């Protein structure tokens, strides 16, 4: 029996991203869908299941509707709604072809509170009523508020006899957990049918949960703005209701809503690679672009403007039917020179375009600029990388939702004579511990012995240390006896800005190696990405020096480069004439799941390349696992983090070699 083609809240959300996606969703056998549909992984990344469970505990005495069948869940909900007072979790409502399950419903007579629970942080000062400075709904909140507005619309039309108030229930940045071990009471599990759920551990009555860390914020005003079309400065062509009707009708008829492609298509999950197509999958992306621009299959082999790094004017070019990098001119790029050393963003974008247009595979290296930068570096050089996590429900009393948790670092050193060592590392293996101060003490011990230059890749390490500084500031010397020393150490290796005003800027502040890449280095092999996972393979393919050096098992060997996690490792392996990406030669942190796919679950851009590590840590903390499995994950995390800092060392070696060789 085929299921009814209802417009549910997740389909509505997808259609809000792009209406054409409604046609491709749910057709996994026909169309390639790169979104991993795995609630367990999603729960690890977002913490949604645990927050959902906590929200239920904050509304005790409710009845859970876990029936998946649409009709039966509606029947059960209607029966419960006959009661004068009732709390229902996952209550089902249908109006015409629209169907929603509400997280929590609190009914008292004809008054009904509709509560949508989200594992998202809310700061009462900054986020207030979800509006931005111009009085429109802030873009970060828009998807959540559209979700609530949709549910409220369905509920009020399904039950016009109810007076409905709508709320978002969110993790409050302004609240602290007042009990230890709150997070550990919500263990993620998979049941026998493979469904993700939460197993409650320990006491869960309202008193034992301590102070409330979720906050309920009215969404009624925002919902009204959405219904009126006053939620954005670009009023939509159709009203909210017209859009809902269109989405619902077209989805019911399984017809595509033809949508004008744009820069937003870059991350479309319905894009198939040639390998996917060879396996018989269709590409929704190609269909849309063929229909809109009259392209043929061969056109998709040409580099598109979507691939230009950090380029904001893609929609303008598409408007003028400039789809391919070969069509772009200097005038399109609005090129300006940099105020500081190295390339400006627009010069770098043009460099990428020019290399493609001229079919020039050679790398760009500004030797002079790099040499000038190198003159300020002091040996021994230190290369560090952090892995961090942020959880909605704190592990410890006194901690707030979504505070940073620094659980791992790796550290390589390079001496003036070129001697390299994996000098140190840290990982928190225990469940439920707040590791930040321990992490920091270990880092301090490794970096305080000299005045050598410290390198990080991207802003993450500076941001995390500043966040730990804030955490220490809120402690007393009784709680953390070495608080002042730890804070002074952070100040000695970081820069802190407050609304672009510099609070401190240490002479030994860490140097961002990604910025050095942006300023002085570009390889066509990196495409439009400057992630270390793209830069490393590019560098290895260009450098004969590195190819020769690391084709031998010197890494982790007795008289070679000391390593804490590798023995006699050969980093250079070939696939034809290309060096294999070292990251791809390591086994995945999660059995059977590619790390690149895991990264997509992590929406926090600050965590950048550490998504897989964050998910693995979350798995150790929040899910049941054997000691053997835990040891395997720890070993995999240590190897990955070591490669992250060794990748920085190899990039450094390549640059030094190029500058010296000239």
Return the residue of 115, 170, 268, 517 that touches ligand SF4, per CB under 6 A. Answer: 268
- Could you tell me which residues come within 8 angstroms of residue 462 by beta carbon, excluding any fewer than 6 positions away? 456, 494, 495, 509, 510, 512
Nearer to ligand SF4, 253 or 501 (CB): 253
Nearer to ligand SF4, 21 or 120 (CB): 21
Return the residue of 31, 247, 270, 395 that touches ligand SF4, per CB under 6 A. Answer: 270
Nearer to ligand SF4, 172 or 259 (CB): 259
Q: Tell me the C-alpha distance between 549 and 540, whole Å.
A: 11
Minimum distance of ligand SF4 from residue 352's CB (angstroms): 22
Query: Residue 447 is inside which H or E element, if any?
Result: helix 436-447
Return the residue of 20, 81, 92, 222 that touches ligand SF4, per CB under 6 A. Answer: 20
Q: Tell me the C-alpha distance between 119 and 124, whole Å.
A: 15
- How big is the site for ligand SF4, counted in residues (CB under 6 A)? 12
The span of 51-59, 257-265, 357-365, 603-611 binding ligand SF4 (CB under 6 A) equals 257-265
Return the residue of 93, 146, 153, 285 that touches ligand SF4, per CB under 6 A. Answer: 285
The span of 129-137, 167-175, 280-288, 540-548 binding ligand SF4 (CB under 6 A) equals 280-288
The span of 31-39, 245-253, 263-271, 453-461 binding ligand SF4 (CB under 6 A) equals 263-271
Question: How is residue 161 written in tokens?
Answer: 């006899």
Pair 157, 171: CB distance under 8 Å: no
Q: Kindly give the residue spans of alpha helices, DSSP state H, lying in 358-435.
A: 367-374
Minimum distance of ligand SF4 from residue 272's CB (angstroms): 11
Positions 288 through 327 that interact with ligand SF4 (CB under 6 A) = 288
Nearer to ligand SF4, 258 or 552 (CB): 258
- Asked if 259 touches ligand SF4 (CB under 6 A), the answer is yes
The span of 264-272, 484-492, 522-530, 578-586 binding ligand SF4 (CB under 6 A) equals 264-272
The span of 65-73, 284-292, 381-389, 474-482 binding ligand SF4 (CB under 6 A) equals 284-292
Q: Beginning with the edge strand found earlier in the chain, give each strand of the sheet holding 63-64 in spatial order.
A: 63-64, 85-95, 98-108, 111-122, 163-172, 214-218
Phi, psi at residue 324, to the nearest 5°? -110, 150
Positions 86 through 115 that interact with ligand SF4 (CB under 6 A) = none
Q: Tell me the C-alpha distance between 399 and 407, whole Å.
A: 16
Phi, psi at residue 428, to the nearest 5°? -90, 115
- Asked if 21 touches ligand SF4 (CB under 6 A), the answer is yes
Minimum distance of ligand SF4 from residue 289's CB (angstroms): 6
The span of 196-204, 283-291, 393-401, 607-615 binding ligand SF4 (CB under 6 A) equals 283-291
- Asked if 18 touches ligand SF4 (CB under 6 A), the answer is yes
Minimum distance of ligand SF4 from residue 244's CB (angstroms): 18
Strands 381-390 and 364-365: unpaired
Whether the ω angle into residue 318 lies within 30 degrees of 0, i.e. cis, is no
Phi, psi at residue 523, to the nearest 5°? -125, 135
Q: Among 527, 545, 543, 523, which residue's Cα sits nearest to residue 363?
A: 523
Nearer to ligand SF4, 271 or 389 (CB): 271
Minimum distance of ligand SF4 from residue 39's CB (angstroms): 23
DSSP string, 221-253: HHHHHHHHT-SSSS--SS-HHHHHHHHHHHHHH
Q: Among 319, 355, 289, 341, which residue's Cα sits nearest to residue 332?
A: 319
Minimum distance of ligand SF4 from residue 302's CB (angstroms): 17
If 0-12 CB within 10 Å is exposed, 13-18 middle and 19+ buried, where does residue 82 land? exposed
Pair 102, 63: CB distance under 8 Å: no
Binding site for ligand SF4 (CB under 6 A): 18, 20-21, 259, 261, 264-265, 268, 270, 284-285, 288
């Amino acid at each position: 029996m085929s299921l009814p083609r209802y417009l549910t809240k997740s389909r509505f959300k997808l259609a809000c991203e792009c209406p054409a996606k409604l046609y491709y969703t749910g057709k996994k056998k026909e169309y390639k869908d790169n979104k991993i549909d795995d609630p367990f992984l999603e729960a690890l990344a977002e913490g949604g299941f645990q927050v959902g469970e906590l929200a239920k505990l904050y509304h005790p005495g409710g009845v859970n509707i876990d029936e998946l069948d649409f009709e039966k869940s509606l029947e059960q909900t209607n029966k419960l709604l006959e009661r004068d007072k009732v709390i229902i979790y996952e209550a089902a409502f249908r109006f015409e072809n629209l169907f929603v399950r509400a997280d929590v419903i609190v009914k008292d007579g004809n008054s009904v509170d509709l509560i949508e629970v989200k594992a998202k942080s809310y700061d009462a000062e900054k986020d207030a009523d979800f509006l931005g400075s111009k009085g429109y709904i802030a873009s970060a909140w828009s998807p959540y508020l559209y979700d609530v507005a949709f549910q409220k619309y369905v509920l009020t039309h399904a039950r016009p006899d109810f007076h409905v108030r709508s709320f978002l229930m969110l993790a409050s940045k302004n609240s602290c957990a007042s009990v230890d071990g709150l997070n550990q009471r919500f263990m993620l599990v998979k049941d026998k049918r493979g469904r993700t759920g939460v197993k409650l551990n320990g006491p869960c009555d309202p008193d034992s949960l301590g102070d409330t860390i979720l906050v309920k914020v009215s969404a009624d005003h925002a919902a009204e703005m959405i219904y009126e079309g006053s939620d954005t400065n670009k009023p939509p062509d159709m009203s909210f209701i017209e859009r809902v009707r269109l989405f619902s009708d077209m989805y019911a008829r399984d017809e595509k809503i033809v949508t004008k492609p744009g820069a937003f298509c870059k991350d479309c999950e319905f894009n198939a690679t040639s390998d996917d197509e060879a396996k018989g999958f269709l590409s929704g992306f190609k269909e849309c672009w063929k229909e809109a621009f009259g392209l043929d299959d061969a056109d998709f082999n040409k580099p598109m403007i979507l691939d230009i790094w950090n380029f904001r004017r893609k929609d303008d070019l598409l408007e003028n039917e400039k789809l391919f990098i070969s069509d772009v001119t200097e005038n399109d790029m609005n090129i300006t020179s940099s105020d500081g050393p190295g390339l400006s963003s627009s010069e770098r974008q043009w460099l990428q375009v020019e290399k493609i247009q001229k079919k020039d595979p050679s790398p760009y290296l500004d030797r002079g600029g790099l040499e000038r930068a190198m003159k300020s570096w002091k040996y021994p050089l230190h290369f560090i990388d952090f892995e961090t996590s942020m959880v909605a429900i704190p592990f410890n009393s006194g901690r707030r939702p979504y505070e940073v948790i620094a659980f791992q670092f790796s550290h390589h050193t390079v001496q003036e004579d070129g001697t390299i060592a994996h000098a140190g590392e840290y990982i928190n293996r225990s469940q439920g511990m707040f590791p930040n101060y321990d992490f920091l003490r270990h880092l301090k011990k490794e970096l305080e012995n000299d005045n050598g230059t410290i390198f990080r890749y991207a802003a993450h390490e500076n941001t995390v240390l500043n966040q730990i500084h804030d955490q220490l500031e809120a402690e007393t010397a009784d709680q953390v006896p070495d608080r002042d020393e730890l804070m002074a150490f952070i100040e000695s290796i970081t820069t802190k800005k407050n609304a672009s005003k510099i609070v401190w800027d240490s002479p030994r502040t860490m140097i961002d190696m990604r910025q050095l890449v942006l300023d002085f280095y570009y390889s066509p092999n990196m495409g439009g990405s400057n992630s270390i996972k793209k830069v490393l393979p590019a560098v290895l393919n260009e450098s004969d020096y590195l190819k020769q050096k690391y084709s031998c098992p010197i890494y982790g060997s007795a008289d070679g480069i000391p390593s804490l996690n590798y023995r006699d490792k050969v980093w250079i392996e070939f696939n034809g004439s290309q060096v294999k990406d070292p990251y791809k030669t390591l086994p995945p942190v999660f059995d059977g799941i590619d790390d690149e796919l895991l990264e997509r679950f992590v929406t926090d851009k600050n965590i950048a390349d550490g998504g897989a590590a964050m998910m693995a840590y979350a798995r150790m903390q929040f899910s049941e696992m054997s000691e053997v499995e835990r040891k395997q994950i720890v070993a995999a995390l240590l190897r990955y983090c070591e490669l992250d800092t060794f990748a920085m060392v190899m990039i450094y070696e390549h640059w030094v070699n190029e500058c010296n060789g000239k």
